[in-house]
Structure 1
Amino acid sequence: MSALLRLIAVLLVLGGAYVVVTRPDTLPFSLPWQASEPGAPSPGTPGPTDGSTLRTDPLGRVTDEAIEAFVARQPISLQALRARKFPGSALKVVRTLNAGVNYSRQVVSYQSEGLTIYALLTVPAGPPPKGGWPAIVFNHGYIPPDEYRTTERYVAYQDAFARAGFVTLKSDYRGHGSSEGEARGGYYDPGYTVDVLNAAASLKKDPRVNPKRLGLWGHSMGGQLSLRALLVDPDLKAASLWAGVVAGYDVLATDWKRSPQTPPPVIDGLNRRYLRLLSPNSALEDLRGRPIQLHHGTADKDVPYSFQKALANDLRAAGQPVEAYRYEGDDHNLSQNLGVALRRSVAFFKKHL
């Protein structure tokens, strides 16, 4: 059976639509220091992002504490996000859709930084169990914001979790479809992460949901958002990441080539330390045993399989539990192994939520 026929067979079984390849958005890795001469800059080198002066040691080297303080001032950093509040709001029903096999489907809205964000909500049929249903914040990958529609893409994926008895909430993110706000990308601007965290907070307010049984699913860019959200909100218990952009920023800045004609930039030691500390990967000890599951195809042309390997290695080095699945020859959407990967993710959440 050809790969195309296998894909069609899987989609017919799952009863949903397939997601188009999701190209990552541009990574504006602006570095705070000019990488000219090797070694540390001279004492008092200003960080041009905010004009501050970095502390140096007696030998004129920038200290780790100074870099950490500089990182903490960046809005995308874990430190900055942890200092914020994510109240969410009650989920407001906008439109009721045709029901799934054993669950309802609705377009809903919630509030995030004063913006109205739309989302697709599924709720299992029947009365909730004691304490409420387990729930998954469903984080999609890159789709051009002006092409995005709430009810399109990822239908089969979301259906698999909904059938298994999970509430799911797929946020559009700001600037996507009818959602308010500006779409600035998911890697170097905190907006989408804020929307994910407010989506989780909104689920906690829903009386049908058990706020102690919340997890995250993320694909591609959504993998990065899920990883960062997991490290910001300790109430989120587990994450399943598919073909995620989940390597550290130090790796993304050099190993994510756009084309053979675009060589990777040369980054000096100071900027590499900055990028590493800015990454969620630098704080994996803060997971405190909350598990992560990884899925990636080796023939992924959009996000290299090496990114999964990098995060898996970082998690193991930090002593954190991880399941990592390698799909030989599969693509960015795991089209050849979609059913297997979904069953593994459902089993993972049933175990940990």
Structure 2
Amino acid sequence: MTRAPLALALLLGLLAGCSAPAAQDSPPTQPAATSAPTSTVAPSPTAAPTPTPTPTPTKKAPARKVNPISMQALIQKRYDGRDLERGRLLRDQGSYKRYAVTFRGDDELISGIMNVPDGKGPFPVVVLNHGYIDPDTYWSGQGMPREQDVLARRGYVVLHVDYRNHAGSSDDEDGVDGTDYALRLPYVVDTINAVKAVKASGYDFLDTDHVGWFGRSMGGGVTLRALAAQPGLVDAAAVWASVSSLEADNWERWYADNGERQDTNKKIEKTYGLPDDDPAFWRAASARPFFDRITEPVLVQHGGSDRTCPVRWARSTVDALEDADVDVTSNVYPGADHTFEGATFSRAMDRTVDFFDDHLR
């Protein structure tokens, strides 16, 4: 035998001796589910998932309490003027008819008069805010009779608001003294609700898309506050012989030395202080600091010799309106007193009607 075959035979015998047969009672090994090789490194223990922290509820800061005797209270208030009702015919004036009216708002029933021009309409509407008249002697529609007449003859429906505690209006729970204590802000609520009631009414003779305000004396102050409280509610406003747009001026003029208002003054001093005690309160209750909210054109007219409401008040109001970029037109009538008599009234009224013609028609 040659050496190569001999080596091959020896190698085959050696391999046969090293191969052991498989045990008969061992189950066959199952194939792996995947073809990926099995790692020989021991797996790391699975870490427990980090719990998502529950967010702590954010506490809302408590709403800042607004002083009810303030412009901010008027701004935030919800108005519900509604249920305008034209009542009985009071008088036929030839070119217009005069009616008793009522409307509701702020839990009050407010009375007034309405002049309606003859014809089909619809007619633009001017809501009138009268000056101070003692509520004990006031009758419905008493204020601004000349203005009511001219506007109706010129084709405007006129709604003259009596205010709460006046004529056929309901008495609010605090009465007249309460209204004085509230610096007559409730009258602003009444005129805003008057406009709301006009706009919500179903009378087809009312042009509810064209409504204006017209206030004189105390009613001028009511009008300025209403404009700042509810910008965009009306289309234009006229103010005649107005009180000051700063409430401290008005208090000093009519309250400070008035013995009949002594009880009201004591309550004012005790609860929120007189103007020298808390000037911030008095500014917050005034129209002037809020003039930048007014969006409507305003006509201001005043007598140069007004001994009731000094003409300097009108000039200061006009300056402040201009500083606030309000579209303001002003006229001062030299020598004219608070009531605009004779030729002064005619001229001022013509300018007022022209002003409303420009913005309400």
TM-score surpassing 0.5?
A: yes
In the alignment, the residues of structure 1 paired with residue 79 and residue 338 of structure 2 have an alpha-carbon distance, to the nearest angstrom, of 31
Aligned residue in 2 for 1:230 = 227
SS of 1:169 mapped into structure 2 = strand
Aligned residue in 2 for 1:82 = 75
SS of 1:352 mapped into structure 2 = helix
Q: Given the alignment of the two structures, is residue 142 of structure 1 paired with residue 149 of structure 2, yes or no?
A: no
Aligned residue in 2 for 1:117 = 110
In the alignment, the residues of structure 1 paired with residue 283 and residue 77 of structure 2 have an alpha-carbon distance, to the nearest angstrom, of 22
Identity of aligned residues (%): 31
SS of 1:236 mapped into structure 2 = coil
Aligned residue in 2 for 1:59 = none
Q: Given the alignment of the two structures, is residue 195 of structure 1 paired with residue 190 of structure 2, yes or no?
A: yes
SS of 2:289 mapped into structure 1 = helix
Aligned residue in 1 for 2:29 = none
Listed as ranges, the matches of 1:306-321 within 5 Å are 306-321=312-327
* Kept after mapping to 2: 8 A contact 1:75/1:189: no
Aligned residue in 1 for 2:16 = none
Q: How far does residue 323 in structure 1 lie from its aligned partner after superposition? A: 1.1
* Cα distance change of structure 1 residues 179 and 253 upon mapping to structure 2, 3 Å threshold: closer
Worse overlay, 340-349 or 203-212: 203-212
* Kept after mapping to 1: 8 A contact 2:131/2:143: no
* Kept after mapping to 2: 8 A contact 1:239/1:293: yes
After superposition, what is the alpha-carbon deviation per residue over 1:148-170, rounded to whole angstroms, capped at 9, x for unaligned?
11143422210111111111100
Q: What letter corresponds to residue 339 of structure 1 in structure 2?
A: S
Q: How far does residue 146 in structure 1 lie from its aligned partner after superposition? A: 1.1
Instruction: Kindly report the root-mean-square deviation, in angstroms, between the aligned alpha carbons of the 2 structures.
Output: 2.6
Q: How far does residue 244 in structure 1 lie from its aligned partner after superposition? A: 0.5
Q: How far does residue 89 in structure 1 lie from its aligned partner after superposition? A: 1.8
Q: How far does residue 257 in structure 1 lie from its aligned partner after superposition? A: 8.6
Listed as ranges, the matches of 1:237-316 within 5 Å are 237-253=235-251, 271-288=278-295, 290-316=296-322
1:329 to 335, 342, 347: 335
In the alignment, the residues of structure 2 paired with residue 140 and residue 352 of structure 1 have an alpha-carbon distance, to the nearest angstrom, of 22
Q: Given the alignment of the two structures, is residue 92 of structure 1 paired with residue 92 of structure 2, yes or no?
A: no
SS of 2:235 mapped into structure 1 = strand
Q: What letter corresponds to residue 78 of structure 1 in structure 2?
A: M
In the alignment, the residues of structure 2 paired with residue 227 and residue 303 of structure 1 have an alpha-carbon distance, to the nearest angstrom, of 15
Q: How far does residue 100 in structure 1 lie from its aligned partner after superposition? A: 2.2
Aligned residue in 1 for 2:99 = 106
Aligned residue in 1 for 2:163 = 173
In the alignment, the residues of structure 2 paired with residue 266 and residue 278 of structure 1 have an alpha-carbon distance, to the nearest angstrom, of 13
Q: How far does residue 258 in structure 1 lie from its aligned partner after superposition? A: 6.7
* Cα distance change of structure 1 residues 178 and 253 upon mapping to structure 2, 3 Å threshold: closer
Aligned residue in 2 for 1:338 = 345
Q: What letter corresponds to residue 241 of structure 1 in structure 2?
A: V
| Normalised TM-score (structure 2) | 0.70
* Kept after mapping to 2: 8 A contact 1:76/1:189: no
For structure 1, the residue ranges without an aligned partner over 5 or more in a row are: 1-68, 260-264
Q: How far does residue 178 in structure 1 lie from its aligned partner after superposition? A: 2.3
After superposition, what is the alpha-carbon deviation per residue over 1:65-84, rounded to whole angstroms, capped at 9, x for unaligned?
xxxx98x7222423211222
Q: How far does residue 320 in structure 1 lie from its aligned partner after superposition? A: 1.3
For structure 2, the residue ranges without an aligned partner over 5 or more in a row are: 1-62, 258-272
| Normalised TM-score (structure 1) | 0.72
